[in-house]
Structure 1
Amino acid sequence: MREKVEEVLNKIRPALQRDGGDVELVDVSADGVVKVRLKGACGG
């Protein structure tokens, strides 16, 4: 499951990076809860 989540994050990462941000996968629990850390600037 972690690999699938990473694949999806890699698809959206370029858009976040163009806006000065990024996303980091923190954890994927056994029951499917995904925790991410948003980094960088937000425009609004």
Structure 2
Amino acid sequence: MARKGLFDSWMDRHNKLGGQHKVPRLTADRSFMEELLIMNNEQ
């Protein structure tokens, strides 16, 4: 389960927080998911 604020943290890390930016769709490339898993386990 994703921790509260995980997607906001990811978007802030990639300078996409606010405005019309959206969380990207998941694809066959797991790089986005792997980064979220690492960030989720940091705290």
Richer in helix (by share)? 2
TM-score tier after normalising by the smaller chain length? under 0.3
| TM-score, length-scaled by structure 2 | 0.27
Richer in strand (by share)? 1
| TM-score, length-scaled by structure 1 | 0.27
- Structure showing greater Rg: 1
